[in-house]
Amino acid sequence: MAGKPVIQGTRIPVDRITRLLGEGMSVEEILEDYPHLSKEDIRAALLYSSKVIGGEDVFPLKAKG
């Protein structure tokens, strides 16, 4: 998937799962659409995403003017 992280044992990108959840889809709906996934797969995708985002350094910028 062009270097994107995927759910282990699948070709489903992690960002697809987080996007679906962010758009309001429930875990149960995702599992209906992707029956080969488990709740643990979805939890792992969320945990991975939070670790990636949480590991970023953020530096506040000063406003010009």
Return left, alpha or beta for 13; rule: phi > 0 is left, psi -120 to 50 is alpha, else beta: beta
Task: Please name the residue that has the structure tokens 């985002």.
Answer: 53
Residue 44: CB atoms within 10 Å: 15
Return left, alpha or beta for 57; rule: phi > 0 is left, psi -120 to 50 is alpha, else beta: beta
The pLDDT value given to residue 13: 97
The domain segmentation of the chain, as residue ranges, is: 14-54
Task: Convert 30-41 to b/e letters by CB count within 10 Å (16 or more is b).
Answer: beeebeebeeeb
The pLDDT value given to residue 1: 56
The pLDDT value given to residue 3: 86
pTM score of the predicted model: 0.77
Q: Model confidence over 7-63: pLDDT tens digits? A: 999 999 999 999 999 999 999 999 999 999 999 999 999 999 998 888 766 667 777
The pLDDT value given to residue 53: 85
